Amino acid sequence: MSETRYLEPGWFTRNIFNRSVRRLTRLGISVAGARELRVRGRKSGEWRSTPVNLLSAEGDRYLVSPRGATQWVRNIRSSGEGELRVGLRVEAFRVAELPDEAKVPVLREYLRTWGWEVGAFFEGVEKSATDDDLARIAPGFPVFRVLAAA
């Protein structure tokens, strides 16, 4: 696994699934805890949006990218901030990217919560995997702690 790992979404995911979840989220319907993530483009400065699963674990909140170094990951690394939206509720936030050695419990909880949806992106690693297995794949899965806006 590497930090450059990226699994591009297929046509169905891009044009049907993501758009449907985004529309429902904008209407205030959070599908399995989904949010609309909005991040400014690192080159254009324009708002970009995508549906994400916001993980709450042990009093903290996290954004995990099961597809690797996606565009939203690259943009949020550049800006360090974004917005989460459900309906009319918009929450501005900052992020702190977790180092690989801190990702294991977050990845396990993410798989426990959304493995049914994103398990295929984890290449056979499941919530019951050993810490060593999760540590081995950690570099390919960006994880961000969501912090209050400055």
Contacts of 47 (CB under 8 A, 6+ apart): 38, 39, 40, 41
Tell me the one-letter amino acid at 1. Answer: M
- Mean of the per-residue pLDDT values for the chain? 92
CA neighbor of 95 nearest in space, from 148, 35, 19, 27: 148
**66-82 average pLDDT score:** 97
pLDDT in tens, 44-60: 999 999 999 999 998 99
Q: Does pLDDT of 3 surpass 70?
A: no
Q: Over 90: is that where the pLDDT of 10 sits?
A: no
Structure token pair of residue 57: 């674990």
- The top-scoring range by mean pLDDT among 17-21, 37-41, 124-128 is 37-41
How far apart CA 126 and CA 40 sit, in angstroms, is 33
pLDDT higher than 80, residue 2: no
pLDDT at 21: 83
The mean pLDDT of 65-88, rounded to a whole number, is 96
Question: Measuring CA to CA, which residue among 54, 45, 44, 50 is closest to residue 17?
Answer: 50
Identify which of 103, 111, 41 has the alpha carbon closest to the alpha carbon of residue 76: 41
pTM for the predicted model, two decimal places: 0.91
pLDDT at 45: 94
pLDDT tier at 23 (50, 70, 90 boundaries)?
confident
- For residues 114 and 4, give the distance between their C-alpha atoms in angstroms, rounded to a whole number: 23
Return the pLDDT at 6: 86
Tokens (6 digits) for 59? 């009093």
- Residue 146 pairs in a beta bridge with 61, 95
pLDDT at 1 > cutoff 80: no
Q: Please tell me the predicted confidence (pLDDT) of residue 63.
A: 98
In this structure, what DSSP letter does residue 102 have? G
